[in-house]
Amino acid sequence: MRRPLLIVNPAARGGRSAESAALAACAAAGIEPRLRRTEAAGHAAQIAAAEAEDEAVFVLGGDGTVMEVVGALVGRENAVGVLPGGTGNQLARHLGIPLNVSRAVGAVARASVATMDLGRLGDGRYFSLTAGFGLDAAMIAGANPKAKRRFGVAAYVWSAALALPSMRPFRVRAVVDGEVVEREVALAMVANVGAVMDGRFGLGPDISPTDGQLDLCLFAASGLRDGLGLALRMARRDFRPDARMTFRRGRSIRLEVVGNVPAQADGELVSAPILEASVVPAAARFLAPRPTFAPAPDAPYVLGPHLALDRR
């Protein structure tokens, strides 16, 4: 009988208490996982690459830990079950996974597999949600670890509120499948999903993580009032033509900025003046009980009673 590999990041927000809850839920469900704990950044990818066989891989940690594992498994048949243990847990939210770890175990154990496009950066790392420069990265940089542990995603909301008044526009040069776009913006983003923050803020029109493309989303704002107006339009998903918003879609997107502008990829800070992203269609396989995107028709798998991925 095969057992799922369970990779735990003890340094994530949930820590050892989340690990205990996950193990108890696994036992209640008759699951006997092979537990491995990470010891440093990058270790989750090493564990997944070396020890994942053809079974499911459960990951307890934040989005950064999950994406380490997902990136290590690109091209393989393993499906990843996300057990939310971080601050934002944006991937779990997109996949319809409960944020309570105990409930998440049951949900992913009963889930089917949904495939999802990934973005691949020039340094080889993958992202599933967004990568870009500006306000979103400043929000992440401004959320201190103590606040994240205590308040969770609210720490990011507060950080964004503090960053918005002082955020200065910057010049970005974007190249989308050869087309050049230059703008003064407050936020320059490559998006693989249509909304963030539990779906509260839309990023652009008709963005899908299963269409084999990435989306360029540029937002220009001058001052707090303008920024709040744009935030309201994003919350309403109002993407009618507006000089402050620019959208393009393509298979490869390059972003280049001048100056010290913060950057991020799936919530992890990146130190680079250039982000080059290309789409890798259907590269990620997730155990998704209720994804915000339609499960791919070519993924007819469920997690069977012997805890391997069974073809039905």
Tens digit of each residue's pLDDT (9 = 90 or more) over 48-79: 999 998 789 999 999 999 999 999 999 999 99
Per-residue pLDDT tens digits of the chain, which is 312 residues long: 258 999 999 988 777 789 999 999 999 999 999 999 999 999 999 999 999 987 899 999 999 999 999 999 999 999 999 999 987 888 998 899 999 999 999 999 999 999 999 999 999 999 999 999 987 776 666 555 665 556 555 655 655 655 665 667 899 999 999 999 999 998 999 999 999 877 788 999 999 999 999 999 999 987 778 878 888 999 999 999 999 999 999 999 999 998 889 899 998 888 888 999 999 999 999 999 877 665 444 443 333 332 333 333
Say if residues 291 and 114 touch (Cβ distance below 8 Å). Answer: yes
Q: Which secondary-structure segment (H or E) carries 210?
A: none
DSSP assignment of 141-208 equals HHS-HHHHHHHTTHHHHHHHHHHGGGPPPEEEEEEETTEEEEEEESEEEEESSSEETTTTEE-STT--
- Compute the distance between CA of residue 107 and CA of residue 210 in angstroms, rounded to an integer: 22
| pTM of structure | 0.85
Residue 100 makes CB contacts below 8 A (sequence gap 6+) with none
What class does CATH assign to 5-117+282-311? alpha beta
Residue among 96, 33, 89, 100 nearest 65 (CA): 89
Q: Is the CATH number 2.60.200.40 carried by domain 126-280?
A: yes
Quote the pLDDT of residue 215. 98
Beta partners for residue 190, in sequence order: 131, 216
Q: Are strands 130-134 and 170-176 parallel, antiparallel or unpaired?
A: unpaired
Map out the domains of the chain as residue ranges.
Answer: 5-117+282-311, 126-280
Residues 87-123 as b or e (16 or more Cβ within 10 Å = b): bbbbbbbbbebbeebbebbbbbbebbbbbbbbbbbee
Q: Token pair of 22, please? A: 């996950």
Phi-psi region of 147 (alpha: psi -120 to 50; beta: other; left: phi over 0): alpha
Same fold, 5-117+282-311 and 126-280: no
pLDDT digits (tens, 9 = 90+) for 2-37: 589 999 999 887 777 899 999 999 999 999 999 999
Query: What pLDDT is recorded for position 140?
Result: 65
249 CB-near residues (< 8 Å, 6+ apart): 176, 213, 214, 215, 216
Measured CA to CA, the distance from residue 231 to residue 236 in angstroms comes to: 9
Residue 50: per-residue pLDDT: 95
What pLDDT is attached to residue 169? 87
63, 286 Cβ separation under 8 angstroms: no
